Amino acid sequence: MTTPETPNGVVHRNIKTPQSEEISGPAAGNRNNVSDEDLRQWQKHAQRVKEKVLEQVQVQLSDLLDQALTETVESFTQTQATFNGKTTNKSAPRSQRADDGKVFVARPSLLDELFEINHIRTIYHMFIAVLLMFCLSTLAVDYIDQGRIVLEFDLLFFAFGKLGTVVWAWAVMFFYTLLVPYLTLVIWGSLYHTCPSKLGLSLGTGLILSAVQTYVLGLFPIFVVIQYQLPPASRFIVILEQIRFLMKSYSFIRETGPVIMRNTPKEGESPRFPSLSSYLYFLFCPTLIYRESYPRNTHIRWKYVGITTGMIFGCLFYAYFILVRLCVPVFRPETKQPFSKRTMVLAVFHSILPGIMLLLLCFFAFLHCWLNLFGELLRFADRMFYKDWWNSTSFANYYRTWNVVVHDWLYQYGYRDFLWLSKRKFRTAAMLSVFIVSAVVHEYALAMGFGFFYPVMFFLFAIFGVVFNFAMNDKRQSPVFNVVMWASLFLGQGVQVCLYSQEWYAQIHCPRTENSFWEMVTPRSWSCSYQR
């Protein structure tokens, strides 16, 4: 039998009756709504899972690549280790290779890479625009107050006064650091393998060198700063160079001494010592860890040198305008504001903006511009002077990434040596000791630079810093903790700028009446009654 065809070739299909549509229509709509809602929720959940998985994979992959790169470079440097051009220690054991410390690799600074991205460079342009606004504001106020444009920069000239004294004091410290530790190492190394009492020779040489270091690099800069009454910026130059020379000379002795002790010369041969030129290069290159050689670039980019130098001067004027426009008008005594808890709280919060701007300027001017300038001039290829500390979600990570140059020195000669002496039993004590040493050195630099003792930095660093280091550790990965870190930095910088500014003016208007110990260590702002 054949199926009858419909007109015009249209094929009949099974179609639900209207009654069935009325019954099933609302139920089907509900089912569609429910399924759509479930689908949207599932998509959101899948997106969140995807973001978390990608973030974890990215972090783990970065760690694996860094570890692989470090192990590869360490293996290569160990099998090709040279000392004055001769290969030694080709078959060093793996455990020894793991303890060799920092490995230098040719790499650019992080901001140099980020500034190639237009979105990040726009933030840099915004800071330049703010600097221009500061300049225009200062010029406008001076013109309104005095009827003319004033470009005196008297605060800068005051802060960097007596540069002649700074130059000859730096020259004394430099030539001492260049010659005395090096000659001491050569004399000690020449006698070490032939002396019957190696321990006595080492202890005697160490004590003599420590005594000389204490007088020349310890007391001499303090004498210059106090005796010649240097202004603040000149004080900081002398004190910071004092600390740098101490850290560099210690690293040189610490790295070369064990090598000389391990490598016994053959009969009739003299011990091999590092060249004076390599030590001279180390004194100027932007690292505190001594090596006989470093990765070097092939040439100097003079355009980069010029731009970096201009940015350093720009940061200097930026800091000047911040102090003149945001700090001096608030804390100078002529404002005639009676002191109270309210004015204190308002002053702290008013100091947050200039405080965080000064922090960013110090980071950019020194850790990026200054170190990259010397790195470029010396063709020093390892430019990892800092990491992405601004993304930190823990203070432990912030302390490791803010200043990699100093962190490497503290980790190498503080934390690791403490663990070695304690046979790796007291890791917490090692970490606390590094924090205390760092806090003391920071407070010493500020006390000598400002000319008064007010341990605000010490308490923020040694007490609150330690608490936050353990409370906000590396397990904290939520972006909320990045907000907490930045809020803590804001508040900490506001407290420091406020208290140090008040103490500065208190020291001027309420000078000490006697030179007793308690008079010198007691902040004048606690008892000075001048009207702020």
pLDDT of residue 153: 77
- Burial class for 509, CB neighbours closer than 10 Å (0-12, 13-18, 19+): middle
DSSP string for 361-428: HHIIIIIIIIHHHHHHHTTB-B--S---GGG-SSHHHHHHHH-HHHHHHHIIIIIHHHHHHTTT--HH
Cα 372 to Cα 285: distance, rounded to the nearest angstrom: 10
pLDDT of residue 176: 94
Q: How far is CA 342 from CA 197, 337, 429, in A?
A: 68, 11, 40
**Run of H or E residues at 515:** none
Q: What is the mean pLDDT of the chain?
A: 80
- Cβ neighbours around 204 below 10 Å, total: 12
- Tens digit of pLDDT for each residue in 283-326? 999 999 999 889 999 999 999 999 999 999 999 988 888 888 88
Length of the chain: 532
Contacts of 192 (CB under 8 A, 6+ apart): 198, 201, 202, 260, 261, 271
Cα 405 to Cα 363: distance, rounded to the nearest angstrom: 12
pLDDT of residue 81: 37
Contacts of 219 (CB under 8 A, 6+ apart): none
Q: What is the pTM of this model?
A: 0.77
- Cα of first residue to Cα of last residue in the chain, in angstroms, is 113
pLDDT of residue 252: 93
Instruction: Determine the 3-state secondary structure of 87 from DSSP.
Output: strand
Catalytic residue selected from 119, 125, 368, 442: 442
Record the tokens describing residue 257, joined without a space: 């001494």
pLDDT in tens, the chain (532 residues): 444 444 444 444 444 444 444 444 544 555 555 567 777 777 777 877 777 776 666 656 655 665 555 555 444 444 343 333 333 333 333 333 435 678 889 899 999 989 888 888 888 888 889 888 888 887 787 777 777 666 677 888 888 888 999 999 999 999 999 999 999 999 998 888 888 888 888 899 999 999 999 999 999 999 999 999 999 999 999 999 999 999 999 999 999 988 888 888 777 777 888 899 999 999 999 999 999 889 999 999 999 999 999 999 999 988 888 888 888 887 876 555 555 677 788 888 888 989 999 999 999 999 999 999 999 999 999 999 999 899 888 888 888 898 999 999 999 898 888 888 887 788 888 888 888 888 889 999 999 999 888 888 888 887 887 777 777 666 767 788 889 889 988 998 999 998 898 888 888 877 777 777 777 777 777 777 654 4
Cα 276 to Cα 256: distance, rounded to the nearest angstrom: 12
Query: CA nearest 408: which of 371, 357, 460, 365?
Result: 371
Active site residue 407: no
- Tens digit of pLDDT for each residue in 358-393? 999 999 999 999 999 999 999 999 999 999 899 888
Q: How far is CA 238 from CA 180, 221, 242, 279, 521, in A?
A: 19, 6, 6, 21, 22
| Phi, psi of 155, deg, nearest 5 | -65, -40
Amino acid at 79: T
